[in-house]
Amino acid sequence: MNHALAALAAEVDLANPANEPLRLAFGLARVSRVQHLLEEPRSLAGLATLQAFVAGAADSSALRAAAAELKEVANRHRGSNSIDGSAHAAVSATYALANALAGRALEAASYAAYAAIYAYGGYAVNEPSAFEPEFQWQLVQLRQLVSSSTNPPTPAHTAPATKG
């Protein structure tokens, strides 16, 4: 788990329902980094739906349908019979997408980081330092999305100003 990312998510109140667009945009950014690991045609269709939704070209019912579909795809992914375990990275990438579609940005980030590292080789996931470049990228990406948001999230510890 990326503890610094979790702290930043808490600081910007990422879990707040009003911050769903930010969660979805971050989830999409995370999945985009591992999209080359997605194997199933339904996964690619789910990614296209998430891209369309974030771009404003799909509605919430399409997003919900894709989220339900990808949850099933991820849960039924066959994994890998190969010695290199590359399809295990595909399983994690598929779970990353399923979580991104469901608006669970931190879970999507965790699965995507795991997929990226597993793609190097199964041995790498046992080395915590192998995750550092991904964890740093996640922090930078979320900070950029927060700062470029047209409606930046209100930090959890800051009350909105009132007129009086």
Q: Which domain holds residue 135?
A: 3-148
Residue bearing tokens 């771009």 = 55
Q: Is residue 111 assigned to a domain?
A: yes
- Is the per-residue pLDDT at 1 higher than 50? yes
Q: Is residue 118 assigned to a domain?
A: yes
Q: Going along the chain, which residue ranges are E strands?
A: none
Q: 133 near 33, Cβ under 8 Å?
A: no
Q: Is residue 155 assigned to a domain?
A: no
**How many structural domains does the chain have?**
1
Residue bearing tokens 């990422």 = 14
Q: Is residue 157 assigned to a domain?
A: no
User: pTM (2 decimals)?
Assistant: 0.83
CA–CA gap between residue 51 and residue 34 (Å, rounded)? 14
CA–CA gap between residue 1 and residue 7 (Å, rounded)? 11
Q: Is residue 72 assigned to a domain?
A: yes
Q: Is residue 156 assigned to a domain?
A: no
CA–CA gap between residue 46 and residue 28 (Å, rounded)? 11
17-58 pLDDT tens trace: 999 999 999 999 999 999 999 988 999 999 999 999 999 999
